Amino acid sequence: MILVCLFISFSIKTPYGGEISIRLNQPDSFTFSSSNYSNIIFYALIYENFFYLKSDGQIFSHLFSSHEYDRSSKTLTLQVKDSLAFSDGSRVTEKEIKVSLNLYLNKNLVSAKQLRKMIKNIRTEKNRVYIELLYNREDITGLLTVPELILVSGRQSFSGIFYPHEWVKDKHITLRPNPFYPGGRTYLDAVNVQFTDEQDAHVFLAEPGAFKDYGYREYNSGIYQNVYICFPHGTVGNNTKTALYSLLKQFYLSKGSGVLNSLTSDDESPVSINIKGLSNWRMRSILKYSKINLYIISSLNGDAGKFNEFLGQKGVPLETIYISENQLVEFLKNTPIKYLLLEKIFSRRMTLAEKIQKVLQEMIFSRFDETYLKLFNELDELKFVKNEELMIGHISKIIEKIINDGILLPISQKKYSLFIKNGIKRIEIDYYGRPLFQKAGY
């Protein structure tokens, strides 16, 4: 009898139930976008990654029962788990895995472009996916841990730990547990993603140190978010560029964002970009008659109201047009956009060379001619050279050319910490600064 009681007491499990609230920026849609840190967190809730990378370097997957790289054939074999399903119950097979991988490879991302260059072929057979490489990369599995590589379906169904249940625009999205989630049913009954600060949230993003003594645990995400003004097409006069640059700098300073005087981060850049701003009178006189259509990446639309109010105060009649990240490439190809405001996220773990590549190669600008292509290729080669002085010199040359050619200018930088209420347990932070909710609960 005593033995039975002991067995029962030690078999008590974490109770199911409860709801967690997360405060994030409102997404455009349920189509994946990685334009900012908030999006990276939101889409991780409703889409499953091929692989996860823990902060200690451990790699795991809920989609594959095994993954094995064979050096002799230069092939990675992914064994797809049996009985996988999307949130609507439809089956996941090796075909959906291949389609999802190809969708990622065709994205305008540095990580996708690099992987695309090393893959010779992708083939499938029953419950298996074979990724054949052109040359040996024993770290290939690690390259598949990026947040953007997700399992998608061709229908309105989801592969992540939750699925969207209700969307009240400008208020919240309620997420329910995905009953077919391959990592097992979450302990939570719901996650409420809030878009306003009317109520306290259990999880949210804020400036480092902002809520240190308010009953929250702080995790330095290592993520920062940069805003740039870009000039993708045509010729723009220096006076107009400087005036628009001055206007945007003033706006982001007024909302508490940090100043950015480099292409990546001021504390690591070999080149400081110092542009003398214009007075309010001079700025207004230039922009008042410029008839500027300013295209803005829609992940910045949370500032739309404040920005319009700011423009009114300054007496500057800009026309603002918001476009989604998923539309950006086509817009740049088919529309003569002269002024574009966008943002990029970076991890402190990335090397300076990788950050410069991300700034440049994820922007499809017709003005990137053969000279730039040559510089990019040289940068790729230099990453394997253990000569820091040579690397810094080359990066400096690229930065100076971009600024002198007037292709883009840095505006502001915002750094983030993730804050989690003390009562919430078992939320892990992965290598990419994302909270993982697979085991979360009270």
Distance between CA atoms of 346 and 359, rounded to whole angstroms?
A: 9
pLDDT digits (tens, 9 = 90+) for 210-245: 887 789 999 988 899 999 999 888 788 889 999 999
Q: Per-residue pLDDT averaged across 332-352, rounded? A: 88
pLDDT at 222: 87
pLDDT at site 6:
37
**pLDDT, tens digit, 9 for 90 and up, residues 64-100:** 999 999 999 999 999 999 989 999 999 999 999 999 9
Residue spans of the domains in the chain: they are: 19-161+424-436, 224-416
- Ranked by mean pLDDT, which of 68-72, 341-345, 348-352 comes out on top? 68-72
What percentage of residues in the chain have a pLDDT greater than 70?
Answer: 93
Q: What is the second-level CATH architecture of the domain 19-161+424-436? A: Alpha-Beta Complex (3.90)
Q: Would you say 375 and 401 are in contact if contact means Cβ atoms under 8 Å apart? A: yes
- Quick check: 43 and 31 in contact, CB under 8 A? no
CATH superfamily, domain 224-416, is Dipeptide-binding Protein; Domain 3 (3.10.105.10)
Model confidence at 7, pLDDT cuts 50, 70, 90, reads very low
pLDDT in tens, 283-327: 999 998 888 999 999 999 888 999 999 999 999 989 999 998 888
Give pTM, 2 decimals: 0.88
Min mean pLDDT across 60-64, 309-313, 387-391 is at 387-391
Say whether pLDDT at 145 is over 80: yes
The answer to whether 19-161+424-436 and 224-416 have equal CATH topology is no
The two structure tokens encoding residue 180: 């077919």
What is the per-residue pLDDT for 383?
66
Q: How far apart are CA 383 and CA 378, in angstroms?
A: 9
Q: How high is the mean pLDDT of the chain?
A: 88
